[in-house]
């Protein structure tokens, strides 16, 4: 089956009202590949601004959620409030939250299940450190993260259908370093094989697996040609006009 190409833009903790409006205007005025699904994730403060001004089919994601119902959780993002605001996606498990904020596999998996159970779709991130890569532990680390997710989701095709996996080697995020095309494809293929062997062949075939390590308009086309790379989760480059070229990289 053909998997719809997917490009996510993670603005991280960047932007002002002026710069966010410029990014939205650029996307609104661009000619984007109609066959590519696009989701952008601005900082929480700008979610409504982006949702209310962004035209077309582009969806909006929160950068994090909390795995509890609305209540006394100061500073957290409510799944129910996001859906009420027509924010239909969230990013979970990003390496910056895992490493800087101490989110464990169990925490990420719990958040993912709560998000899915309550109507959000999830860009779920995994990846290894430079030390783990050099110790040839990449596949073990990534499949360990996947195993934790499976403990929460089980093998439900309906649940996995709302998950897009983003493989992000930690050593290639924001460093300018990029995994070679072969390195990226190899890990994506390993993820798909794990899904086939541990979830189901149907889920393995249908799940989009994105690459997310310093992707830009110069390296995206070659990466997009790989059989198991179904798109990108873009960081810093999503703040720039070249993001449009990344969205159109599969043309």
14 CA to centre of own chain: 17
- The answer to whether 94 is a known catalytic residue is yes
CA angle 38-100-144, nearest 5°?
70
Annotated catalytic, 222?
no
94, 96, 103, 132: the catalytic one is 94
Instruction: Choose the catalytic residue: 168, 188, 217, 250.
Output: 168
- In this structure, the number of other CB atoms found within 10 A of the CB of residue 74 comes to 4
Burial 119-147 (b: 16+ CB within 10 A, else e): ebbbbbbbbbbeebbeeeebbebbbebbe
Rounded Cα gap, residues 116 and 133, in angstroms: 31
CA distance linking residue 235 with residue 14, whole number of Å: 10
Catalytic residues: 94, 168
């Amino acid at each position: 089956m053909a998997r719809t190409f997917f490009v996510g833009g993670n603005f991280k903790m960047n932007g002002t009202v002026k710069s966010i409006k410029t990014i939205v205007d650029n996307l609104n005025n661009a000619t984007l590949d109609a066959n590519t699904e696009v989701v952008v994730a601005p900082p929480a403060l700008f979610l409504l601004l982006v949702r209310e001004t962004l035209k077309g089919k582009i969806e909006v994601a929160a950068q994090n959620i909390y795995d509890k119902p609305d209540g006394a959780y100061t500073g957290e993002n409510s799944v129910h409030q996001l859906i009420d605001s027509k924010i239909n996606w969230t990013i979970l498990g990003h390496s910056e939250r895992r490493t800087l904020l101490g989110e464990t596999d169990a925490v990420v998996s719990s958040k993912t299940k709560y998000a899915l159970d309550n109507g959000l779709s999830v860009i779920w991130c995994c990846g290894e450190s430079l030390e783990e890569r050099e110790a040839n532990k990449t596949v073990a680390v990534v499949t360990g993260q996947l195993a934790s997710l499976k403990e929460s989701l089980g093998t439900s095709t309906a649940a996995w259908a709302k998950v897009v996996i983003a493989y992000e080697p930690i050593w290639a995020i924001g460093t300018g370093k990029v995994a070679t095309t072969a390195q990226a494809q190899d890990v994506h293929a390993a993820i798909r094989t794990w899904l086939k062997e541990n979830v189901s062949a149907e889920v393995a075939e249908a799940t989009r697996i994105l690459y997310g390590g310093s992707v830009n308009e110069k390296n995206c086309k070659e990466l997009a040609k790989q059989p198991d790379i179904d798109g990108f989760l873009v960081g810093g480059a999503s703040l720039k006009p070249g993001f449009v070229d990344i969205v159109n990289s599969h043309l």
